[in-house]
Structure 1
Amino acid sequence: MNLIIFLLIGALAGWLAGVVMKGRGFGVIINIVVGVVGAWLGGWLLPKLGIAFGGTVGSFITAFVGAVILLAIIGLIKKA
């Protein structure tokens, strides 16, 4: 059940990150995948920076931040 929640939060965060990062999104499906990977990235990176959120809302914030970071990195690589 936790995996399903993780995937749903990541998918929503990826979609929202694609909306926020106008011009850096790659379509709904890829943004959802980026959100899931971004959720993992945010969960790994933010605690290393001393930032931690708890609960479902915190998980969403972490996933959203990770997805935005990942979309920015992919956008930079895509331009190069």
Structure 2
Amino acid sequence: MSIVAWIVVGLIAGWIANMIMSSGAGGLVADLVLGVLGAMLGGFLLGVVTGVDYTTGINIPTILVSIGGAVILIGVYRMLSGTRLRS
């Protein structure tokens, strides 16, 4: 998958993960960065576990895997930074 596709999938994943996690403490740029990194993390981890390449382009399975990676990354970010949900 090209770098442009990674960025597009990461942007989609970051936005959806932001909605799921009710994030927002880091702002738009942080959510997008976490989305792109989450896309890479999710694709890598699921590929290692299942042996299947989920980084084949912009499609539903790739986006779902990327959202999972972004949610994990946002959770780790919150644990390390001490950020809490807004009330």
The question of a shared fold, defined as TM-score above 0.5 by the shorter chain, is answered with: yes
State which drifts further: 16-25 or 35-44.
16-25
SS in 1 for 2:47: helix
Give the letter aligned to residue 64 of structure 1. Answer: I
TM-score, L = length of structure 1: 0.83
Query: In the comparison of the two structures, how many residue pairs are matched?
Result: 80
Partner of 1:30: 30
2 CA distance for matches of 1:71 and 1:24? 10
Shift of 1:50: 2.4
**Superposition misfits of 4+ residues, deviation over 4 angstroms:** 51-55
Partner of 1:15: 15
Partner of 2:60: 57
**If each structure's helix is expressed as a fraction of its own residues, which one has the higher value?**
1
Q: Which runs of 5+ in 1 are unaligned?
A: none
Q: Which runs of 5+ in 2 are unaligned?
A: none
TM-score, L = length of structure 2: 0.77
Structure with the greater alpha carbon radius of gyration: 2
Give the letter aligned to residue 32 of structure 2. Answer: I
1:24–1:72 CA contact under 8 A, matched in 2: no
Identical-residue share of aligned pairs (%): 30
